Amino acid sequence: MFRLRSTIPTTQPSAIKDKYDVIVVGGGPAGLTAGLYSARYGLDTIIITKILGGMVSEAPLVDDYLGIPEVKGNDLVDKFVKHVKKYNIPIILDEVVDVYRSPRGNQEWCVKLRNEPKEICAYAVILAVGSEKRKLGVPGEKELLGRGVSYCAVCDGPLFNGKTVAVIGGGNSAFASAMFLSNIASKVYLIHRRSSFRAFNVYVEAVKANPKIELLTNTIVREIIGVDKVEALRIENVETGEERLIHVDGVFIEIGLNPPTEFFRKIGLEVDEEGRVKVNVDKSTNLPGLFVAGDAAGGPYKYKLEQIITSAAEGAIAADAAAKYVLTLKSK
């Protein structure tokens, strides 16, 4: 099932054409911005995405997007989508399972969708597919998924009203989730394997000042324990080797992202050591006509600041480069 968190309607499948100038794959900040800029260049554009808004739709509060302070993630997504829909860009909820050169040999790229039999082709494709949540890989994680194990605090947090929960991670997402959950749960453990954090200092100070959040540093989770639901965590202090159990009703895992590396390799895109696509400064790739923006982009020319505003900027850059590429092809 595809999750549509925005209240903005998407285009019905009957509106899908066989051919566009640009196909944008992904509906987060990078993809929506790419679609907007592509349409503003006068190019026939379509956006295809599994989840409208991407991970922004899961954010309880966004306070670092210029000009729109203290906005809920869903509300920010709605603003983005309304702006895109102003240009009558079709937005289709589906999953792109393959991208390949057109068999007609006309320099076009085609995409195959999971739920739509029609092949859709374009001169250029912008991949803004983001990344998936990284897994802990410990016993109990897979078995108790959906029964106390979650990767989305804003999605599942309300189920733990008055209960004890744990958040695993040391970055911005982990700290934001802990603060969000402290408004719902009776107690929140924030568990991190190191003594230092990747999160912004303002988040760290806010968590330290919150009496409902207990920081457990230099600590790793060895096992998630439970029968029909999460009941406890077996944790280990990496400095002393001491193991102990802590009672929790839920655990929220926020330890980073994994890009869809195998999908990229299947297409023929070059990837870096992290599995992200190597992009040039204009977000072009080793395959002419394919561009990558947002969290899925990597390589030596990628400046890594995974924020909404930088993803949106990369989407605009990719659309500008794609537009120049498409207009050059169409002028021949």
Active site residues: 152, 155-156
Contacts (Cβ under 8 Å, ≥6 apart) of 321:
282, 283, 284, 291
Report the alpha-carbon distance of residue 311 to residue 307 in Å, rounded: 6
Best CA proximity match to 2, nearest among 134, 92, 131, 98? 92
How would DSSP label each residue in 38-74? HHHTT--EEEEESSBTGGGGG-S-B--STT--SB-HH
**Strand positions, DSSP E, the chain:** 19-25, 45-49, 91-93, 96-101, 109-113, 120-127, 132-133, 149-150, 164-168, 187-191, 213-216, 219-226, 230-237, 243-247, 250-253, 257-258, 277-278, 290-292, 297-298
Q: CB 304: neighbour CB atoms within 10 A?
A: 10
Q: From CA 104, how far away is CA 86, in angstroms rounded?
A: 33
Q: How far apart are CA 189 and CA 199, in angstroms?
A: 16
DSSP character at residue 25: E
81 neighbors 107 (Cβ within 8 angstroms): no
- CB under 8 Å to 231, separation ≥6 — which residues? 148, 225, 247, 248, 249
Q: Which of 305, 315, 306, 184 is nearest to 249 (CA)?
A: 184
Q: Give CA torsion, residues 268, 269, 275, 276, to 10 deg.
A: -160
Check residue 86 and report its DSSP letter: T
Chain center to CA of 215: 26
